[in-house]
Amino acid sequence: MDIRPEDPTELPTAHRVALLSQNEKVFHVILAQQFDREFIDHLVRIAEMVRTIADAKPGAMFLKSLLGHKRAMLYFIQPSTRTFMSFASASQILGMPYDEVRDRSTSSEHKGETEDDTVRVLSQYCDLIIMRHPVEGFAERMAHMLNAMRRPVPVINGGSGKDQHPTQALLDIYTLYRCFGGPLAERVAPHAEKNHFAGKTIAFVGDLKRGRTVRSLTYLLCRYPGVRLLFVSPPELAIGEDILEYVRRHGIAYSIERDLRAVIRECDAVYMTRLQDEWDTAGESKNIDYARYHLTADMTDQFKPDLAILHPLPRRHELDVRLDADPRAKYWDQVRNGMWIRAALIAYLFNVDGAVLDHYQSYYSY
Amino acid sequence: MDIRPEDPTELPTAHRVALLSQNEKVFHVILAQQFDREFIDHLVRIAEMVRTIADAKPGAMFLKSLLGHKRAMLYFIQPSTRTFMSFASASQILGMPYDEVRDRSTSSEHKGETEDDTVRVLSQYCDLIIMRHPVEGFAERMAHMLNAMRRPVPVINGGSGKDQHPTQALLDIYTLYRCFGGPLAERVAPHAEKNHFAGKTIAFVGDLKRGRTVRSLTYLLCRYPGVRLLFVSPPELAIGEDILEYVRRHGIAYSIERDLRAVIRECDAVYMTRLQDEWDTAGESKNIDYARYHLTADMTDQFKPDLAILHPLPRRHELDVRLDADPRAKYWDQVRNGMWIRAALIAYLFNVDGAVLDHYQSYYSY
Amino acid sequence: MDIRPEDPTELPTAHRVALLSQNEKVFHVILAQQFDREFIDHLVRIAEMVRTIADAKPGAMFLKSLLGHKRAMLYFIQPSTRTFMSFASASQILGMPYDEVRDRSTSSEHKGETEDDTVRVLSQYCDLIIMRHPVEGFAERMAHMLNAMRRPVPVINGGSGKDQHPTQALLDIYTLYRCFGGPLAERVAPHAEKNHFAGKTIAFVGDLKRGRTVRSLTYLLCRYPGVRLLFVSPPELAIGEDILEYVRRHGIAYSIERDLRAVIRECDAVYMTRLQDEWDTAGESKNIDYARYHLTADMTDQFKPDLAILHPLPRRHELDVRLDADPRAKYWDQVRNGMWIRAALIAYLFNVDGAVLDHYQSYYSY
């Protein structure tokens, strides 16, 4: 991506167009597959800059000045604390007021309104809708519907169905950049050609069948030649064949594993997931020996010194609380990284990422 | 109304006093009947200015500077997405922080507190209470109660009972101004004497008995001599005799109709409403043939070229989704208009409408 | 406390350290016993200044500039309107964005997350957690837990269990300062040695066994030699022996009373409480004659001319609504005082109380 240093506020629109859209004015964030290497590199840089700028009051106030004239709607029709709060915090960081619909019982739907009409109405009040919904493909369908309105607004998919969770994938890969990417100065430098993931082994562990975060992150990792993926799960919870086909098509090395202890020594990063038994149809999870997919404190002597331990949270027993104090535990950082990368994404959607870049280069560059 | 051009921040207080009040400091917005022609004309001008100013960032930031020192409380003890969001957005536009009570289960009422005490307490935290409530006359009673406090705060009625919904009436008439009132330059010019509604035929269609929006808007339309009203409904859902008496007393022509198809050709505006069967006491709506009060896409050849189609929403089947793409469909605009006219109303209550006028005349006048 | 007039932004950290903390960076507000005289005097001064400064728009905008770079989380897992709104309003006054968790059904806990993990996650998004919880000692436990995180954030206890409610105690004593403390000029002057409570008789009336506000305020009043406390309650609802022991240890005069009418003439302040029968285990409150602990309008001829009537609210019948119009009724003021003292406390936690002091001395001093 060509970020012209002579005018950083004028970012190329090529990548904005790359986001799913049916007209030229509005860009939606729906699928992890939308993001190419160049885009991810750019967004990670912006996120690193936002968090650095936000650290002192004058910088924080600059960030808050960016989107005070916009307003967002958080339409979260599925229980979620962390994703909701992450987007809410990102909006606050950029000074963008927002409102929320989280409970259909307070809405007009009890009067017989369709959900389509509800979203059409909400779109009148705002400049961006961030949505989370139990139905697969919901965000994408809403994006198409809104494109047909006289005043379309962009949609960010905050998770729909068992399917996709693209901003979780962004925060996960951002966390990996921070683990593998060297010091800050290197992370904020333009280096589209540099691939920090080459030679790294990343294990996905647990319920890979039903964890949408694993699917989304795998799509992104396929943009990094030389990375090696381990899918460590019981056979009943194996990663979907469609994902493996995608991995193969992109020439990424992978292997299927059954025992975490057998491979933990090789891992540069381990991405733990909980048993998602809320998707069970007949209690089938009860027969699975999930203990083989636990990461426990007694395994630390097998960890590489720079192992990165990730977890999308919430966790249960698969991730030992005694590991929390280990500096290799990155899952709390992941939470906070999500806030920064979402702020970067929103800045990008409203075309103020250039202003962030400009501010950073003026005040923080050597 | 005399808006003195030499000092636009000094608006006459005569009309503020016209709002229901028991002392000289606080003005409440309770009933559509409070609003006279001069007031509506003024508020529509301010709304047009607010939306114009808000369109670019510097203007939006000016608007946000107006009420940063005030705080509002949204007390919404009745399911409502659109009215709530509309007031919330209006508050955001003016930079006024707000908080909300929407669910009595999180409040102290389970500890035996009366609702009067709850409202007295909430009034301590804010400078304005916007309320929506299932009980008729609630907002008015609270206005009187708060007038007796040492520190009274104004009340805006966001809808109470089957009764009144004055700000919905304001957004409806504002939408009609935008349809009938000529270009923007004319709409923002002072022209209290000009009556854009003379000669226009406006049909109210459907459940006129139980729709409070119809009642409130009818009150306002009676301020426009020469308008003609059609009340199109099944006999069981006829408009209240008290409203007809009010219409007659103001010398407004009207007729009672039973079939929308028979009159649609004559209409300059058609105001659709849904069957409000939530007020049924014994399922009486089931026996009504409501299909005669539907507006459908196959009727478009009978529409006037400039017909304005309004609906307070939510809709069911009485308003064909295939009409959404017709430029005569104004119901999504109505939603957005509600946000602007409520911002204008709040600006007026806090006496910053003059600052809006001044800003507009400085930056947007020819 | 030594507030150096030559540099009011540099407040001594001794008292910050006095707040419960396990490392040097973070200070938590957990117990009323944390507050010494010097601290209370200081906070009352700041609260008086904040409310004075907030009264005009330029001052209000100054206050809003103080904490725009911070963000708060209100974790309120117990029904509460007034405490929640009070903290929310205090945050708004200081320009600090906040978000809330009030209902565990919208959170990840249904996915099997522990509450500890929920709080750890929330702490990533904010700079301060204000919490209210049904479990005794919860806030204190969370403060310890957060101290162990890489990025600890301060906790303010907004009430936990039957136990403690330290900020209610602060607003109560602030209300008493305003009643006993002379004119504003005197209240904002530095006068750590002056004790406005000496010689005053303060009666606690009603359910003293289960009212946590009574416990917390009593701790604070023990810092004022010469005050006299009356504990007026039925024997079944007597104040806890641990509190009386604390009172005796601090050399404060008190007596146990059974009849409000017998002592009302002596009172300079009367602190009414409701019957807290939600803590009943077997309906034992039903046998209590609570009418002897009611304050009624027919008792006014026995009131001292400057009696201060307080009530933490919500009230039931123990506090006659006909007293509301009496200038001695201070319970609505109490509500509003809570907002100001909480704003002062938050300003103190983030070390901007010095900026308030400085601003006040520049613009409001004689």
Quick: pLDDT tens for C308-322.
Answer: 999 999 999 999 999
Q: Do A69 and B88 touch (CB under 8 A)?
A: no
pLDDT of residue A252: 98
Nearest chain B residue to C65 by CA: give it: B68
- Has residue C54 been placed in a domain? yes
Which phi and psi (to 5°) does residue B213 adopt?
-65, -35
pLDDT band at C5 (very low <50, low <70, confident <90, very high): very low
pLDDT of residue C105: 58
Q: Do A69 and B54 touch (CB under 8 A)?
A: yes
Strands (E), chain B: 72-76, 98-101, 128-133, 155-160, 201-205, 228-232, 253-257, 269-272, 308-310
Q: Do A82 and C121 touch (CB under 8 A)?
A: yes
Q: How far is CA A272 from CA A204, A296, A312, A334, in A?
A: 6, 11, 8, 13
- Please indicate, yes or no, whether residues C180 and C268 belong to a single structural domain of this protein: yes
Q: Out of B81, B88, B92, whose CB is closest to A108?
A: B81
Cis, bond preceding C312 (omega within 30 deg of 0): no
pLDDT of residue C25: 62
- Please indicate, yes or no, whether residues B149 and B240 belong to a single structural domain of this protein: no
Q: What is the 8-class DSSP label of residue B349?
A: H
Using the predicted structure, report yes or no on whether residue C205 has a pLDDT greater than 50: yes
pLDDT of residue B78: 85
Q: What is d(CA B236, CA A64) in angstroms, rounded to the nearest whole number? A: 55
Q: Do C85 and B69 touch (CB under 8 A)?
A: no
Query: Do A159 and A30 contact (CB within 8 A), yes or no?
Result: no
Note whether A60 contacts C: Cβ–Cβ < 8 A.
yes
- Has residue A1 been placed in a domain? no
Q: Do A121 and B332 touch (CB under 8 A)?
A: yes
pLDDT of residue B312: 94
How many other β-carbons are positioned within 10 Å of the β-carbon of residue C208? Answer: 23
pLDDT of residue C366: 60
Nearest chain B residue to C312 by CA: give it: B121
A48 Cβ neighbours under 8 A, 6+ residues apart? A184, A187, A188, A340
Note whether C108 contacts A: Cβ–Cβ < 8 A.
yes
Tokens for A290, please give them.
């999930």
* Region of poorest pLDDT, from A92-96, A174-178, B161-165, C263-267: B161-165
Q: Out of B85, B102, B314, whose CB is closest to A111?
A: B314
CA distance B113 to chain C (A): 5
Q: Do C125 and A89 touch (CB under 8 A)?
A: yes
A186 Cβ neighbours under 8 A, 6+ residues apart? none
Note whether A107 contacts C: Cβ–Cβ < 8 A.
no
Note whether A283 contacts C: Cβ–Cβ < 8 A.
no
- Please indicate, yes or no, whether residues B19 and B127 belong to a single structural domain of this protein: yes
- Please indicate, yes or no, whether residues C85 and C144 belong to a single structural domain of this protein: yes
Using the predicted structure, report yes or no on whether residue A104 has a pLDDT greater than 70: no
What is the domain extent for residue B92? 14-164+336-363
- Please indicate, yes or no, whether residues B329 and B342 belong to a single structural domain of this protein: no
Residue range A196-210: mean pLDDT, rounded: 95
Note whether C283 contacts B: Cβ–Cβ < 8 A.
no
Query: Do B313 and A113 contact (CB within 8 A), yes or no?
Result: yes
- Please indicate, yes or no, whether residues C319 and C203 belong to a single structural domain of this protein: yes
- Has residue A2 been placed in a domain? no
pLDDT of residue C80: 84
Taking alpha carbons only, the member of A151, A143, A127, A161 closest to residue A29 is: A143
Question: How many Cβ pairs closer than 8 A exist between chain A and C?
Answer: 80
More reliable by pLDDT, C55 or A278: C55
- Please indicate, yes or no, whether residues C103 and C90 belong to a single structural domain of this protein: yes
The reply to whether A111 belongs to the active site is yes
- Has residue B9 been placed in a domain? no
CA distance A79 to chain C (A): 4
- Has residue A91 been placed in a domain? yes
More reliable by pLDDT, C63 or B12: C63
Q: Do C103 and B106 touch (CB under 8 A)?
A: yes
Q: Do C339 and B124 touch (CB under 8 A)?
A: yes
The reply to whether C201 belongs to the active site is no
From first to last of the 366 residues of chain B, give the pLDDT tens digit. Answer: 322 223 333 333 433 433 444 455 688 999 888 888 999 999 999 999 999 999 999 999 999 999 999 999 999 998 788 899 999 999 999 999 999 998 765 555 556 789 999 999 999 999 999 999 989 889 999 998 998 899 999 999 999 877 778 999 999 999 999 999 878 888 888 766 688 899 999 999 999 998 889 999 999 999 999 999 999 999 999 999 999 999 999 999 999 999 999 999 999 999 999 998 888 888 888 889 999 999 999 999 999 999 999 999 999 999 999 999 999 999 999 999 999 999 999 999 999 999 999 999 999 876
pTM above 0.80, yes or no: yes
Tokens for A44, please give them.
């990670």
| pLDDT tens digits for range C251-260 | 999 999 999 9
What ipTM score was computed for the predicted complex, to two decimals? 0.91
What CATH number is attached to the domain comprising A132?
3.40.50.1370
- Has residue A204 been placed in a domain? yes
CA distance A355 to chain B (A): 14
**B85: amino acid identity, one letter:** M
Note whether C61 contacts A: Cβ–Cβ < 8 A.
no
pLDDT of residue C68: 97
| pLDDT tens digits for range C24-38 | 568 899 988 888 899
What 3-state DSSP class applies to B254? strand
Q: What is the number of domains present in chain C?
A: 2
The reply to whether B317 belongs to the active site is no
Nearest chain B residue to A68 by CA: give it: B61
pLDDT of residue A207: 96
Taking alpha carbons only, the member of C286, C59, C83 closest to residue C167 is: C83
- Please indicate, yes or no, whether residues C38 and C80 belong to a single structural domain of this protein: yes
Residues in chain C closer than 8 A to B97 (CB atoms): 92
Query: Do C161 and C189 contact (CB within 8 A), yes or no?
Result: no
- Please indicate, yes or no, whether residues C244 and C124 belong to a single structural domain of this protein: no
- Please indicate, yes or no, whether residues C256 and C354 belong to a single structural domain of this protein: no
What 3-state DSSP class applies to A164? strand
- Has residue B156 been placed in a domain? yes
Note whether C122 contacts A: Cβ–Cβ < 8 A.
yes
pLDDT of residue A177: 95
For C26, half-sphere exposure in the C-beta direction (CA atoms, 13 angstrom radius) is 23
CA distance B148 to chain A (A): 32
Residues in chain A closer than 8 A to B89 (CB atoms): 71, 99, 125-126
- Please indicate, yes or no, whether residues B140 and B245 belong to a single structural domain of this protein: no
Q: What are the helix and strand counts (H, E) for chain A?
A: 13, 9
The reply to whether C132 belongs to the active site is yes
Q: What is the 8-class DSSP label of residue B110?
A: G
- Please indicate, yes or no, whether residues C150 and C293 belong to a single structural domain of this protein: no
* Region of poorest pLDDT, from A302-311, C85-94, C141-150: C141-150
- Has residue B4 been placed in a domain? no
